[in-house]
Amino acid sequence: MHETDGPLIRLEGVTKIFQTDEIETHALSDVHLEIQPGEFVAVAGPSGCGKSTLLSILGLLESPTRGQYWIHSDPVENLSVSHRTRIRNREIGFIFQAFNLIGDLTVYENVELPLTYRHITAGERRQRVEAVLERVGMAHRAKHYPAQLSGGQQQRVAVARALVGQPSILLSDEPTGNLDSKNSEAVMELLQQLHREAATICMVTHDPRYASIAQRTIHLLDGRVVQPDSVAPDGRGEGIV
């Protein structure tokens, strides 16, 4: 992970409006947020409250309509498309609900893919891929294809793909949404382990059981932060109250 002074992520007054000919939808309204290096933050709230829109802005997939966003103290508002793409590839690891693995690539090839966009030697790519597959317990499945894996195994591969680029922050959008309870608990334990190893994680969830695992929980309703962050005395989040 990269070193930084102050917050790794900072949002001030971020608003996102989606506009069509007939309707204006305020997905986010005046959101203020800071995430420190090494924090595990949950963004919680009901469906349609703006959680995924917030994650898309953090991941530079969407731009705010108003407000400012800094990563590593650098404003992202005026970045070119190519610079945004470079930051996404180097600084941000994505873990999606739907896994988003490529069906005709092996586990190894899926995890290696983000590194192919960088000037990294084949030897270093191999070393990194083998290390992260070992870390998530999927080294023995390196030659398998996604269709040959369970949902829980596919999500572990997706976590490995997010980690292989050594990002500053992991953005996780409902990582247990397509999993049964046993696999959900295994994936959450993996995220907790990564956090104990100093990973910075921002996870969107509608499930208070998983929000409570984070150090801090930010609650959204109708695009707004509706109450102070929840932080337990021991630093673990207390879930939705």
- Tell me: the pLDDT tens digits for 87-119? 998 899 999 989 999 999 999 999 999 999 888
Is the pLDDT higher at 148 or at 23?
148
For the chain, give every domain's residue range. Answer: 9-231
Got the DSSP string for the chain? ----SS-SEEEEEEEEEEE-SS-EEEEEEEEEEEE-TT-EEEEE-STTSSHHHHHHHHTTSS--SEEEEEETTEE-TT--HHHHHHHHHHHEEEE-TT----TTS-HHHHHHGGGGGS---HHHHHHHHHHHHHHTT-GGGTT--GGGS-HHHHHHHHHHHHHTT--SEEEEESTTTTS-HHHHHHHHHHHHHHHHTT--EEEEES-HHHHTTSSEEEEEETTEE-SPPEE-TTSS-----
Over the stretch 19-54, which tens digit does the pLDDT of each residue have?
888 889 999 999 999 999 999 999 998 888 999 999
The Cα 15–Cα 40 span in angstroms is: 23
Q: Classify 221 in phi/psi space as left (phi over 0), alpha (psi -120 to 50) or beta.
A: beta
- Cα torsion 167, 225, 218, 222: sign: negative
Report the C-alpha gap between 162 and 41 in whole angstroms.
17
Confidence of residue 2 (pLDDT cuts 50, 70, 90): very low
Q: What is the mean pLDDT of residues 212-228?
A: 89
Q: What is the CATH number of domain 9-231?
A: 3.40.50.300
CB-neighbour burial class of residue 7 (10 A; exposed 0-12, middle 13-18, buried 19+): middle
* pLDDT tens digits, one per residue of 160-200: 999 999 999 999 999 998 999 999 999 999 999 999 999 99
164 φ, ψ to 5°? -60, -30
